[in-house]
Structure 1
Amino acid sequence: MLFICSYCFRTLCRSVNKISKDYPWEIYTLKELLRATNNFQQENKIGEGGFGSVYWGRTSKGIAVKRLKAMTAKAEMEFAVEVEVLGRVRHQNLLGLRGFYAGGDERLIVYDYMPNHSLLTHLHGQLASECLLDWPKRMRIAIGAAEGLLYLHHEANPHIIHRDIKASNVLLDTEFEAKVADFGFAKLIPEGVSHLTTRVKGTLGYLAPEYAMWGKVSESCDVYSFGILLLEIISARKPIEKLPGGVKRDIVQWVTPYFQKGIFDHIADPKLKGKFDLEQLKSVVMIAIKCTDSNAEKRPSMRDVVEWLKDAVGKKRIKEIPSLSDKNRDEENDKNDTDYDEIGIGKKPSKLRVPNQKYKIR
């Protein structure tokens, strides 16, 4: 089993080299990466998950190195898928591949280091209390992440479904530009195929109902996840919260009453202290509600979403977003409300001598 997987990995590596011949990929040796990460010491670790760990590396520009934890067939296949996808994409809002190393028992992927860490860090983590994300930054991050998804869905060949859109997988560069990351669960969609049925993978609170219940995955599943992310960006609330008595409430259920009553200012992150554009907020909430429609066929495409967001931030009137039947929506939410085991929660960040925020990875 492992031999077959390793063969597939080598095949994928050759494919990536062929696809990426026009791009400036760096060729790393194991010795170089060991030196950059101080032999993968604990003090250099900035993230840990089920299949591997991420280390900060000292180079002229700074790198992040993802190291496969164990040579299992499942882990190596996910690693190979990520290399395959990263070799196919090139967009300013996607975390690009700097290079990789595959030899012996080591599987290493090298990325650019993102000094402003993940969106999760700013919404719920170590930097949340500092509120470094003002309203304009949040809107720019939302549009950037949306444009990254638009590229995957409509411009990449073949089209790509990410399957794990969430706050920890949106990284921020020095200018707080969004970089969608972590393609280990991604699916390549052949020409003419509208959806696939597959094993469910993802994170609690972000999964579209049809995917979570039946494993039916399509581009609209990413749209749903992005809608959840959009609500999270403007409210700084988690996708799922526990209420007294152990009851769970998702962010759509939380926002719906405010949306119905038109109390939009209660939706915005209190840490913004009222410093946001109310008309933009109304438009963005409406876009998020459309993205999280329980009926996959009624969700917009990411092309529509990007256009609407740019119109909203440009303070243009958005005529294309139809109104919703809130009563019907509540009934659908109640019918489709399902609990799922959460995947991909990293360890609690600790202080490091190197850049000290942990990425959340699987």
Structure 2
Amino acid sequence: MPPRKLLLVLISFFALLQILHPPLISAENISFNFPSFATLRNLTLLGDSFLRNGVIGLTRDLTVPSSSAGTVIYNDPIPFFDPETNTTASFSTSFSFSINNLNPTSFGDGLSFFLSPDNQTLGSPGGYLGLVNSSQFTKNKFIAIEFDTRLDLHFNDPNGNHVGLDIDSLNSIKTADAMSKGIDLKSGNLITAWIDYKNEEEKLMVFLSYSSFKPESPLLMVDIDLSDYFKEFKYVGFSASTEGGTELHLIESWSFQTSGFLPVRPRNHPHNVSDSSVIITPPIPVPDSSPKNSRHRKIGLGLGIGGPAFFCAVLVVFGCVSARKWKEIKKEKSFNAELVTGPRQFSYRELKSATKGFHSSRIIGHGAFGTVYKAFFMTSGTISAVKRSKHSHEGKTEFLAELSTIACLRHKNLVQLQGWCVEKGELLLVYEFMPNGSLDTLLYQESERGRTLKWPHRYNIAVGLASVLTYMHQECEQQVIHRDIKTSNIMLDANYNARLGDFGLARLMDHDKSPVSTLTAGTMGYLAPEYLQYGKATEKTDVFSYGVVILEVVCGRRPIERETEGQRMVNLVDWVWRLYSHGKIAEAADERLNGKFNEEEIRKLLLVGLSCANPDEAERPSMRRVFQILNNEAEPMVVPKVKPTLTFSSSLPLSIEDIVSDGEECHTPESMVEIRVD
């Protein structure tokens, strides 16, 4: 029998068994425990949340007042209802948290533990506790226990130190004063909370203590039936927010479990057999010793031994035929476990159909990683951007391991990775589609058509980009250095918010290469002097690139441009610094703005751009400091009137053509150069 037919026979056999004895499908009890948070495995951070030293922070860790909102969510949805047995689960959770405040006169707004049908729950700062969108009160659905540290009369709060049960609204169903148990939520001390919901008793209880011992009596007890809210899967997590305060919300440990679901048991045979049934033993047959029966026994014995042996031989053949193909499939699927925390896996056929066979009419961009296509998914009616790699990716294992880290990044100013596909020897990445394209297209090509990017949008882009780089440099578990920050890698969503794309990918392509080839990871004009010299990227090289981008955004000029008259190339940083030296820095503003801008903001952005593009990396600010300056939460840095000078003796065989721009014609021969920054 051919292997394929044999496989069909086996499948049919097992399918018949499934029909005769179908498995019992039942929801299972779930439990997990995080004594500390060493990694972000199985967790997703949203908004301003961060992981540091084994502790999750939900709001910004700043010494100056700010508005902030953040969320951490357990990745897997939790079943609370079993349709097979019509059973609703009970749950228990305990966690240790602290609410610190550097300024005792500052307050608000608190944190919450929530259950939500959405794994992207992130609300507004302030009294919304990161649960509710301020402009769409009914958008987010949730069940939450709030630990509120601010009296907000808008939500009928009893005081600024209470615990409450919220369902789809921040007007609590019932509240309790934490001080009734001697607990000051804002004390900065470690507090342990226990939340128990007993479905059979229709009762929810909240316990609080400064110790790790659960009190005998609850702080808050609510008689409520949550079974109607548990008909669908829920995601569990924490959220917190501040508004013009310095309150910091930290989660140090967390455990969670559901109970009440019966264990899966095999289905009994449909025979009604009582305990008093009489078992009748059949008579034992007496063997017949006739020659005829002896032959039959030998034939039967031969078939009994030969049949299974033949069956096993066929299986071996089938296994050998399939082994080679299985190895290939295994290579493509082996990395799935690395990406279980977020994006989905697309099929090659699905992406090919969505891009019309990767037709040239669907191309919306090109980059170091490959070609970008616009993809229409007919089944869901959604639009995405698909990046098709032009690299062979011999080091696929390393690449995909790094990709799994990138997939865990969550920030409102990142182009979110939606999925991937590894088939046909290709690597395809699926991202959110950005309707307003890239920043460089809007600054230059669209401007030529009379579409000018307005000043409020430009300032907002600078702030958004600073926010996401702060997140990547200082708030991620593993620091991410972008290495290729430029206007073509900054996308704009429907509201002209900056979304950083191609993050982390450039550095993955250049392992074990020489300093010369490392230059291909970036783009000339955006590269810091020390990176040109040593080929090693740090967070300060990203800061330099950010500074150049900011100057582009304000001035509407490329990093390196040819003079209108003549062949001399002009460096944007040098040009702005000269204007600053002569007290005319405001003259660097893009003429196409026609004076419609805030001059104070113009000066601030230009000075931030110059401080970031300082040739001396030690003098560049961190991205956190930049973000604080742009939000008026820190004083601007002092920028020297004369641009500092650094000299590197370099043996890099760079051509002037490489240094000046992409695609510019230049006939100067390659030579050994001295990189001089002056």
Normalising by structure 1, we get a TM-score of 0.79
**How many Å apart are 1:278 and its aligned residue?**
0.6
Question: Which of the residues 591, 599, 602 maps onto 1:278?
Answer: 599
Structure 1 counterpart SS, 2:371: strand
Q: Provide the residue aligned with 1:146 in structure 2.
A: 466
C-alpha separation between the residues in 2 aligned to 1:31 and 1:162? Answer: 31
Whole-angstrom distance in 2 between the partners of 1:248 and 1:335: 22
Q: Say which structure, 1 or 2, has more relative contact order (CA 8 Å, 6+ apart).
A: 1
Q: In structure 2, what is the equivalent of residue 191 of structure 1?
A: none
Aligned length: 321
Identify the match of residue 13 of structure 1 among 332, 335, 339.
Answer: 335
1:56 equivalenced with 2:371 (yes/no): no
| Equivalent position SS for 2:553 | helix
SS at match of 1:149: helix
Q: Which has the larger radius of gyration?
A: 2
How far residue 178 of structure 1 moved from its aligned partner, in angstroms, is 0.7
1:198 Cα offset (Å):
9.2
1:319 aligns with 2:650: no
1:40 aligns to 2:358 (yes or no)? yes
Q: How far did 1:118 drift?
A: 0.3
Q: How does 1:1-362 map to 2 (within 5 A)?
A: 13-14=335-336, 16-18=338-340, 20=341, 23=342, 25-49=343-367, 51-59=369-377, 60-71=381-392, 73=394, 80=400, 83-183=403-503, 184-186=505-507, 199-200=518-519, 201-243=521-563, 246-311=567-632, 319-324=635-640, 326-327=641-642, 329=643, 331-332=645-646, 339=656, 341=658
Structure 1 residues 126 and 280, CA, compared in 2 at 3 Å: closer, same or farther? closer
Does the C-alpha gap of structure 1 residues 323 and 52 become closer, same or farther in structure 2, counting only changes over 3 Å? Answer: closer
SS, match of residue 123 in structure 1: helix
Contact 2:472-2:481 within 8 A present in 1 as well:
yes
Superposed displacement of residue 78, structure 1: 9.4
Choose 271-280 or 242-251, whichever is displaced more.
242-251
Distance 2:411 2:345 in 1: 21
Report if aligned partners of 2:371, 2:388 keep a CA contact under 8 Å in 1: yes
Distance 1:308 1:285 in 2: 12
CA contact (8 A) 1:152 1:160 kept: yes
How many angstroms does 1:204 deviate by? 0.8
Q: How many Å separate the matches in 2 of 1:39 and 1:341?
A: 35
Tell me the amino acid that sits aligned with residue 339 of structure 2.
Answer: N
- Residue 140 of structure 1 and its aligned partner are, at CA, apart by 0.5
- In 1, the alpha carbon distance for the partners of 2:439 and 2:621 equals 24
RMSD (Å), alpha carbons: 3.3
Structure 1 pair 151–50 and aligned structure 2 pair: CA distance change class (3 A) = closer
1: CA distance, partners of 2:369 / 2:659: 15
Cα distance, 1:290 vs structure 2: 0.8
- TM-score normalised by length of structure 2: 0.44
Within 1, Cα distance between the matches of 2:421 and 2:660?
27
Distance 2:350 2:435 in 1: 21
Q: Which runs of 5+ in 2 are unaligned?
A: 1-327, 509-514, 664-678
**Stretches of structure 1 lacking an aligned partner (at least 5 in a row):** 1-5, 188-195, 347-362
- CA gap of 1:135–1:12, structure 2 versus 1, over 3 A, is farther
User: What secondary structure, in the 3-state scheme, does the structure 2 residue paired with 1:107 have?
Assistant: strand
C-alpha displacement at 1:110, in angstroms? 0.3
Q: Is the 8 A contact 1:12 1:84 kept in 2?
A: no
- The 1:68–1:320 alpha-carbon spacing in structure 2 relative to 1, beyond 3 Å, is closer
C-alpha spacing 1:163/1:320, structure 2 compared with 1 (3 Å): same
Contact persistence 2:339–2:404 (CA under 8 A):
no
Structure 1 residue 105, shift from structure 2 partner: 1.5
Q: Distance in 1 between matches of 2:403 and 2:661?
A: 19
Q: 1:154 & 1:273 partners in 2: Cα distance? A: 38
| 236-245 vs 170-179, which moves further | 236-245
Q: Which residue of 2 aligns with 1:355?
A: none
User: In structure 2, what is the equivalent of residue 356 of structure 1?
Assistant: none
1:82 offset after TM fit, Å? 6.8
Higher helix share: 1
Give the superposition deviation at 1:266.
Answer: 1.5
Give 1:17 deviation, angstroms: 1.4
Give the Cα–Cα distance (whole angstroms) in 2 for the partners of residues 42 and 254 of structure 1.
39
CA–CA separation in structure 2 for the residues paired with 1:110 and 1:50: 16
Deviation at 1:289?
Answer: 1.1
How far apart, CA to CA, are the structure 2 residues paired with 1:78 and 1:251? 37
Percent of residue pairs identical: 33
Deviation, 1:26, is 3.2
Shift of 1:241: 1.2
Structure in which a larger fraction of residues adopt strand: 2
Question: What residue in structure 2 maps to residue 360 of structure 1?
Answer: none
